[in-house]
Structure 1
Amino acid sequence: MLPKPHPLALSVALACGLPMLAQADAVFTLDDVLVEAELYKSYAEYAPTSGTKTDLPWQQVPQSVSVVSSAEMQDKGAIRLVDALEGVAGVNNTLGEGSRDQFVIRGFDALNDTYRDGLRDDGGFQTFRSLANIERVEVVKGPAGALYGRGSAGGIINLISKRADGRKVLDVNLGAGSEGRFGSRLDAGGNLTDSLNGRINLELRQGDSYVNEVDYSDYFIAPTVRWEPGERQTLDLDLELLHQEVTPYRGVPSVNGKPVDVPVETYYGARNDFQEADSQRLALTHKVALADSWEWVNRAAYNRITLQQKGTRNANVNGNRLEQTVNNFGFDPQTSATLQSELTWNTEHNQLLMGVDYNEFERDFTLATIKKDQVPTQDLLNPEGRNTDNPGFAPFRQNSTDSLGLYAQNVVTLGPWSVLGGVRYDRMELEQQFKGTTSSNEDEKLSPRLGLVYTLSDELSFYGSWGRSWQLPYGGIYVNPRLAEFYRTDLLELGMKSYLFEDRLMLHGALFRIDQQQPETNDNGEITARNEFRHEGLELEARGQITDAWNIAAGYSYLEAKDRETGYRPNDVSDHLFSLWTSYQTDFGLKLGGGVKYVGNRFAGNNEAVTLGDYTKVDLMAAYSWQQHHTLQLNLDNVLNEKYILGTTSGGSGAHQLGYGAPTQWMLSYRYQL
């Protein structure tokens, strides 16, 4: 096996290996951005817009913002969101209960911080989201409350949907791989009439897993239409339907501060464990250019999901026996509705954004459990395949969260200086019905944001920013009387951004500090304690093209994260993260690529109860294209067969729910693209 590279050495090699800054002719005015976007190819095909919700050039945004393009996702053979986000500095995955997307951004849990086209994606909270209709993924790092409201301590993930933009599209992808995995996708669209365009994305996925008894099956349907009644207006209507069945995987327990050393295929759950979800999303976006420099955008979205999960969980180790519980929960249903209206004014020296949004979230939560003294124990090293009793899905709790936000942001450019100022007002109301008792929590908060950018040249800029966000405990999904105060998060960040090779390669470096305060309260809502956390570190990122044929996506982050009172590192947060992915397209149709990901030391559970260690994973790909339309691609993941812990569940439960990552896997796919 190859020796593990130290992440600091890798980051230094990356930085030292980059050529000197090249000269470019780009002029960063609004009109030039639209033309400049045509110059982006492959991994830097798009400049991200989620940082300011405007067309402000990436180089003038005073915050870390990364973009993962569809070309990069295709090369990686990305099936799930976790595959797409490998390579984004400061972002790492967790176990997510083995049944959902869940990420850590700059050391903070981002479970409730995924957005779709700028709107909260509450409907995907407990599932693996499909990438079939995703054009690109944008990650805004650091508190983003001044724009997006309630949440985001470490950052947000914004999924940008494919649109029926009038292009004729036909893209068919068929894949098969190890563990009986099979997947197929269809992306088709074009003009329906002179003013009406249509597009549809379909996906079917199913397969077993490297873990015994674990399998999955789902389908996804996403039609979209665009009506253009005139030159200045567009109306997009999106529908998404997802059915997903997956076996929850809660990983392995720990003994003496280390994960139990069993084969990665070992399954401690029950054969009759399951999760089944059905979700629907309907969204409407209306854009109108009121004048040459004014644009008005209105959005509305409705999500509905019904879900049931039966899960057998590891609870405690007693000698050579593992104690377990059975936990059933469900949404019957969960719904959310969002309305948003934004007005932007763009001139050569001024970019103004004004917006208002309203979000209504409701959940009927079902829950039933079987305690550990009622569940037969398992052999710690040789668990047997078995069923456990099913306690059903009893009505448990009803929750609702309503939030209203008003926000404004302005960017003024004077010579080489750009000044950003923004503020958001949020009013949030939570209500809970539980065992005949009504609990509530409400507050009003202001989230300010300031940023300063100095553009040294067309290729290089420096920035500083400060921002404050307010986060709802538990993401606002339920009320805990002892957490009646919102969490406060403050960001300080200094950074630089640069373009190389005629704007084809984007470079970014940042130093940051995030302080979060989590107050505890008594039953009367009075503050009894303030838990304080500080996350500070360094991020380096390079994404784009070195030559017309050579693409690269690389990121490194160093993070010092701790509870300021105890000094302990949070659950499942590593000190170093490094990822490098690159691909090279030859003149005779062959593309070769590969990547390495290094995750530094982590701990699981409270107070650093379990040491997880570090790991290095290496992936490879090869693709051959012919006749301009056909591509055959092979992806090999974890080719060195590294045995490692992928991630844990959150909080104290993570000490006995440690998920092993996949061993060597392969996926062969055929793609036809018109």
Structure 2
Amino acid sequence: MNTIKRNHISVLSIAVSAILAPSVYAATASPSIEKIAVSGVRQAFRGDVPLSEQPQSIEFISAEKLNDAGVTTLADMFDLTPSISEQNDFGGLWESFAIRGLVGDESIPSGFLINGFSSGRSFSGTRDTSNIDYVEVMKGPGSALYGRSEPGGTINIITKKPQFEEQGSLKVSAGSWQSYRGEGDYTNAISDQLAFRINGAIEESESFRDYHEDKKTVITPSILWLISDTTKLNYELEYVDQSVTFDRGIVAVGGKIDALPIETFLGEPSDKPTEVDAISHQLTFEHQIGQWSLLNGFSYSDSKFISESSDAELAPSRQVYFTDGETLSRQHNQRDFQTKNISARIELSGSISAAGFTHHLLIGGDASKFDFDKLWYRYRPTLEDTRYAINMYNPVYGQTAPEGSLLYNSTEIQHSYGLYIQDQIDITEQWKMQVGGRYDWFDQQIDNHINQSQSKSDQSTFSPRVGLVYAYSDDIQYYTSYSEGFRPNSGYDINGDAFEPESTSSFEAGIKFSTDAVSGSFTVFSAEKSNMLTTDLQAGVSTALGEVTSEGIEFDLHGDITDHTSFDFAYTYTDAKTANDTVNTDWWVKLPKGSPLLNIPKHSANARLKRELNDLNATIGVAVQYEGERLGETIDPTYYLPSYTLVNLFANYHVNDDVSIQLNINNVLDKEYYANSYSAIWTQPGEPVNYKLSLKYSF
């Protein structure tokens, strides 16, 4: 064991030394590296105000950074920023995350934006990175503009757009656990006014987890039409076909998180894999009217999610493991979820002079319709019923699942309408004030087909937003902002009543700076929300947790150590907790005010060093991620996931201008860690040391 550790440290020392060593290479031209710019397609909610003058902290994650890290899914991207905390991902089938400690409904995928359109709520599998140009982590108040966002912030994915010059790439990868991936991207002009792009990926892999397989196909064609010098039309389609094993992870036996080997699979290998079939369309129309811009958009998505799984039973009154310490009682679940989401948006932005000030105006409206059909059969064992139980230490598979009973058969329809306006006023060259707000109308109808009941709710609310920016110099800006918002909750409680929407408020203040050598920001934030949902482990349904708060600080720094060496560092402190006393009436467990929130670390940090070795036509780098301890179960304040530090290495060698080879070694110190948890019985272990080797041809 000591020899293995010394070897790991030796590899790491060599990598760090190479990165930090003084430059001794001749100044030769860097090899040609693919860099495809976006063809000037305007993003929603921006107006004509530069991001540096916005009273908001925004973190950019480029395609280059994603590629360096070997990231292929949005969930993998969460590890690149300490502001995002990974949450329970429903057996590895969707993205669930918290920004600044606050998360939405954990029973459905977390919401995010794709080119400014609301996404994520659909059951579209794990988001692939093959068509991502860059990602914006827009922190802090946003509901007053975007609608439906969390007070901690939201993620906006910007996809690759068609170009009028021929460019493309083909990439193949192979890695640990028989992981194979092919990826392609091609764009070209059809005419002087018409360009197209198509990209996508095909992937097959197993896992360090026993009996785990994943297959995915993603295809994303798009077309851009320059109708005139002032008018553009852009269309994108995305198709996803994914088949993946449903996996709830391991059991922390007696609270001992490493009691079972991390590869132990406690489901049933004969269960059919979860099948995801999703398609989405986006159409945007942009027209320039003098100094004003008109932006229209339409989005439609359709997803199907069919799943079969054998999950460890959570309730102690039904779980044999709590009696004998080795026999795990299991549920059997069959799910059929289908969603349709239609949205439209219109936005006008520009500047006017009035009352001696310049006003940067942003005026818009949007509407959406979300349909969710939910069919779910579940078998739950009693303490005496061990027909479908399994020995955790010596699992023997092959039991026939007992017939389940109907748990959900419902249709939910949500209609949302919103109007928003924002005015950023140039008071002086240094002082900028932002005021605005959003008015939302929301109605929800849930038909319970089991008992033929119907639940309806509707609400309207105004969400104000105010901010202030002081430009101390061209390099330093101070800012502060405050916003209120709301987010409708999906589903109904154990009594069949629709949940009240979440209401939120958020405040932040900070400094942004940028010089020739370094750039970065420092932010202090505070947010609160009510009617946050969590899961009742006894009943197996969602329940309202009440009010929660999150306070903390963020610091990030980026720059160049030498002409050939760059660095990134980011740190986040988050104190997320309940704001009132609550009692879980099924467990009769009191959750006192100040109880920590699930899967949220107080301390998290990332650091990265990257060095260009020009004489060798190569790039090498090291990335370090730290995640503090996190609460692992809502009703058990003693169960924590331990903190961990991961070290990842990457290297890229350019054979010539067109061909490159990349090697990624993740968790090089082979640290045993646990990524997220739903309870001590559903805990997800992280990946041990693994590698990926890629060959890329660019043209």
Unaligned stretches of 5+ residues in structure 1:
3-16, 18-40, 521-527
Q: Which residue of 1 aligns with 2:575?
A: 560
* RMSD (Å) for aligned C-alpha atoms: 2.8
Q: Which letter maps to 1:416?
A: Q
Equivalent residues in 2 for 1:306-455, closer than 5 Å: 306-315=304-313, 316=319, 317-318=321-322, 319-320=324-325, 321-331=327-337, 333-346=338-351, 349-373=358-382, 375-386=387-398, 388-389=400-401, 396-413=409-426, 414-434=428-448, 435=450, 436-455=452-471
Equivalent residues in 2 for 1:184-333, closer than 5 Å: 184-273=182-271, 274-291=273-290, 293-315=291-313, 316=319, 317-318=321-322, 319-320=324-325, 321-331=327-337, 333=338
Give the drift of 1:541: 1.5
The 3 A distance-change label for structure 1 pair 613 and 49 is farther
Q: Which residue of 2 aligns with 1:106?
A: 100
1:418 & 1:139 partners in 2: Cα distance?
Answer: 23
Q: Deviations over 1:175-228 (max 9, x none)?
A: 000100001111001101111101100210111001000110010111100111
The TM-score, its normalising length taken from structure 2, stands at 0.84
The TM-score, its normalising length taken from structure 1, stands at 0.87
SS in 1 for 2:191: coil
Q: Does 1:599 align with 2:627?
A: yes
Give the drift of 1:484: 4.0
* Residues 51, 61 of structure 1: 8 Å contact kept: no
1:218 & 1:184 partners in 2: Cα distance?
Answer: 11
The 3 A distance-change label for structure 1 pair 297 and 50 is closer
The counterpart of 1:668, out of the listed 676, 689, 693, is: 693
Q: Which residue of 1 aligns with 2:653?
A: 624
* Residues 332, 404 of structure 2: 8 Å contact kept: no
Give the drift of 1:500: 2.3
Q: Which residue of 2 aligns with 1:579?
A: 606
Unaligned stretches of 5+ residues in structure 2:
7-19, 21-33, 314-318, 534-542, 581-591
Q: Which letter maps to 2:287?
A: V
The counterpart of 1:130, out of the listed 122, 128, 131, is: 128
2:41 & 2:528 partners in 1: Cα distance?
Answer: 26
Q: Deviations over 1:42-98 (max 9, x none)?
A: 999999997952342232111221110011111111111122232323112224022
* Residues 176, 183 of structure 1: 8 Å contact kept: yes
The 3 A distance-change label for structure 1 pair 350 and 272 is farther
1:390 & 1:446 partners in 2: Cα distance?
Answer: 50
SS in 1 for 2:308: strand
Q: Which letter maps to 1:601?
A: E
Q: Which letter maps to 2:646?
A: K
Q: Deviations over 1:91-119 (max 9, x none)?
A: 12224022211112111125432111101
The 3 A distance-change label for structure 1 pair 484 and 109 is closer
2:190 & 2:399 partners in 1: Cα distance?
Answer: 52
* Residues 432, 479 of structure 1: 8 Å contact kept: no
The counterpart of 1:499, out of the listed 514, 531, 543, is: 514
The counterpart of 1:57, out of the listed 50, 53, 58, is: 50
Deviates more, 1:566-575 or 1:101-110: 101-110
* Residues 123, 305 of structure 1: 8 Å contact kept: no
Aligned length: 622
Q: Deviations over 1:224-277 (max 9, x none)?
A: 001111111110111111100011110112333342522111111110332101
Q: Which letter maps to 1:198?
A: F
* Residues 252, 314 of structure 1: 8 Å contact kept: no
Give the drift of 1:483: 5.7
Deviates more, 1:489-498 or 1:534-543: 534-543
1:204 & 1:310 partners in 2: Cα distance?
Answer: 23
The 3 A distance-change label for structure 1 pair 48 and 302 is closer
1:338 & 1:45 partners in 2: Cα distance?
Answer: 24
Deviates more, 1:58-67 or 1:420-429: 58-67
SS in 2 for 1:72: helix
Give the drift of 1:404: 0.3
2:532 & 2:136 partners in 1: Cα distance?
Answer: 31
Give the drift of 1:352: 1.0
The 3 A distance-change label for structure 1 pair 464 and 55 is same
The counterpart of 2:82, out of the listed 89, 93, 105, is: 89
SS in 2 for 1:221: strand
Q: Deviations over 1:303-334 (max 9, x none)?
A: 00111011211124322221221122122x31
Deviates more, 1:654-663 or 1:344-353: 344-353
1:44 & 1:233 partners in 2: Cα distance?
Answer: 19
Equivalent residues in 2 for 1:170-181, closer than 5 Å: 170-181=168-179
- Structure ranking higher in helix proportion: 1
Q: Which letter maps to 2:164?
A: G
The 3 A distance-change label for structure 1 pair 483 and 548 is farther
SS in 2 for 1:86: helix
* Residues 45, 116 of structure 2: 8 Å contact kept: no
* Residues 43, 545 of structure 1: 8 Å contact kept: no
The 3 A distance-change label for structure 1 pair 569 and 529 is closer
Q: Which residue of 1 aligns with 2:528?
A: 515
1:539 & 1:96 partners in 2: Cα distance?
Answer: 25
The 3 A distance-change label for structure 1 pair 596 and 353 is same
The 3 A distance-change label for structure 1 pair 45 and 637 is farther
Deviates more, 1:425-434 or 1:578-587: 578-587
* Residues 127, 244 of structure 1: 8 Å contact kept: yes
The 3 A distance-change label for structure 1 pair 346 and 546 is farther
1:166 & 1:418 partners in 2: Cα distance?
Answer: 37
Report the identity percentage.
26
* Residues 124, 304 of structure 2: 8 Å contact kept: no
2:577 & 2:41 partners in 1: Cα distance?
Answer: 31
1:500 & 1:558 partners in 2: Cα distance?
Answer: 25
1:51 & 1:143 partners in 2: Cα distance?
Answer: 16
SS in 2 for 1:74: helix
Give the drift of 1:454: 0.5
The 3 A distance-change label for structure 1 pair 606 and 84 is closer
Q: Which letter maps to 2:624?
A: V
1:69 & 1:546 partners in 2: Cα distance?
Answer: 20
2:97 & 2:261 partners in 1: Cα distance?
Answer: 25
Greater C-alpha radius of gyration:
2
